[in-house]
């Protein structure tokens, strides 16, 4: 087996995932794009493991570890996205950035601007 075929496929998968992360606005689609990128890495690990004829099969072992991490990541990521969607009504990343809370978090900045507005009136 030539190493070029899986390497080119992995590059295409990774570039597709990278485009999805950079261009998509929906949080679920961003998570799917991250999974594409991780699958490209897994494909490279297995291809290089076969190409090098490693007796320990370290590439395949790392692939199993990466699959386990990816499963945990997608589970936690989807749980976070569902909670954000329930509380804010959208999973759009741009809208989530616009609705971010102030650093104080208790509304102290809004109270101070309200007092300044009352003092000038």
* Residue 64 domain boundaries: 4-120
64: CATH: 1.10.287.3510
CB–CB of 66/42 below 8 Å?
Answer: yes
Q: What's the confidence (pLDDT) of residue 107?
A: 52
Q: What is the structure's pLDDT at 99? A: 63
Instruction: Identify the three-state secondary structure at position 118.
Output: helix
CA-wise closest residue to 64 among 46, 77, 78, 48: 46
Q: What is the pLDDT of residue 120?
A: 60
Walk along the chain (121 residues) and give the pLDDT tens digit of each residue.
799 999 999 999 999 999 999 999 899 999 999 999 999 999 999 999 999 998 899 999 999 999 999 999 999 999 999 998 898 888 888 877 766 666 665 555 555 555 555 556 5
Q: Residue 77 burial (CB < 10 Å; 0-12/13-18/19+)?
A: middle
pTM: 0.75
Count of domains for the chain: 1
- Residue 91 pLDDT: 83
Q: Other C-beta atoms within 10 Å of 71: how many?
A: 11
CB 10, CB 36: distance < 8 Å: no
pLDDT given for residue 92 in this prediction: 85
């Amino acid at each position: 087996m030539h190493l070029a075929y899986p390497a080119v496929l992995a590059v295409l998968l990774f570039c597709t995932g990278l485009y999805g992360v950079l261009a998509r606005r929906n949080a679920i689609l961003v998570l799917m794009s991250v999974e594409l990128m991780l699958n490209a890495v897994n494909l490279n690990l297995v291809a290089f493991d076969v190409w090098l004829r490693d007796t320990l099969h370290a590439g395949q072992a790392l692939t199993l570890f990466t699959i386990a991490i990816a499963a945990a990541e997608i589970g936690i990521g989807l749980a976070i996205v569902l909670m954000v969607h329930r509380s804010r009504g959208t999973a759009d990343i741009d809208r989530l950035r616009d609705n971010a809370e102030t650093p104080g978090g208790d509304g102290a900045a809004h109270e101070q601007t309200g007092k300044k507005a009352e003092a000038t009136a």
